[in-house]
A and B are shown apart, each in its own frame.
Chain A
């Protein structure tokens, strides 16, 4: 079974500063993918970034980067230069490539960006 743990229920960050959202995972499957999604108050889940278990380099997408530490089973999201529009819930999720391929989500972190 897979498990995602997000230990920060809520985070505050000042506008224009960087913030790291923590995510640890657990799986016995060697092939998996890690995802981060943003969910604004409107409810839609917005895909941010993806990291494959065999990828050698950390994924980056604009202001988002994923700090992937495979030995520690962590996949932290780093948002650089925070903007007010970044205020939302952020979910870390995992999907394995064999057998059941549903996304397993963490409990989420609510990020609030302050002016």
Chain B
């Protein structure tokens, strides 16, 4: 079974620009979560989608948004990029349906550098 894929793997953007990152979950997984990893703040939850609906959202400004498509693929968008948005963005998929606690499987991440 193919793992979680994320594209692109590396990205360099300029302050003020916007960026869209893509994540394809493991086949059959309907829950997709996004995390930001930085040396200073560690791993922080951005949002979680299930069946095209945002279920949870972390404490990030409105510049960070996401969506999920009917095939469970997800995208996250960051508008008006700031230097502090430079990070590794990780996507995770889970077979979570309702209740229960299921492991999350992570993709390789997209490393975003804002200059």
Task: List residues of A (71-115) whose CB comes within 8 Å of B's CBs.
Answer: 91, 93, 95-97, 100-108
Residues in chain A near residue B111, CB distance under 8 A? 43
Q: Does A56 reach chain B (CB closer than 8 Å)?
A: no
Chain B: residues with Cβ within 8 Å of the partner, total of 24
Q: Which residue of A lies closest to B45 (CB)?
A: A102
Task: List residues of A (1-60) whose CB comes within 8 Å of B's CBs.
Answer: 31-33, 35, 37, 42-47, 50, 52
The answer to whether A97 and B108 have CB atoms under 8 Å apart is: no
Which residue in A97, A104, A107 is a CB contact (below 8 Å) of B100? A97
Q: For the complex, what is the distance from the CA of A47 to the CA of B58, rounded to whole Å? A: 22
A23 to chain B, nearest CB (A): 14
A6 to chain B, nearest CB (A): 10
Chain A: residues with Cβ within 8 Å of the partner, total of 27
Q: For the complex, what is the distance from the CA of A50 to the CA of B101, rounded to whole Å? A: 9
Which residue in A33, A43, A96, A106 is a CB contact (below 8 Å) of B108? A43
From known contacts A44-B109, A100-B56, infer whether A33 and B101 are also in contact, taking CB-CB under 8 Å: yes
From known contacts A37-B106, A50-B103, A97-B101, infer whether A102 and B43 are also in contact, taking CB-CB under 8 Å: no
Residues in chain A near residue B105, CB distance under 8 A? 47
Q: For the complex, what is the distance from the CA of A46 to the CA of B100, rounded to whole Å? A: 21
Additional A-B contacts beyond A32-B101, A47-B105, A103-B45 (15; CB < 8 A): A33-B101, A35-B104, A43-B108, A43-B111, A44-B106, A45-B90, A47-B103, A50-B101, A91-B43, A95-B104, A97-B101, A100-B56, A102-B33, A103-B33, A103-B92
Give me the interface of B with A, judged by CB distance under 8 Å.
Answer: 33, 35, 42-43, 45, 48, 55-56, 58, 88, 90, 92, 96, 99-101, 103-109, 111
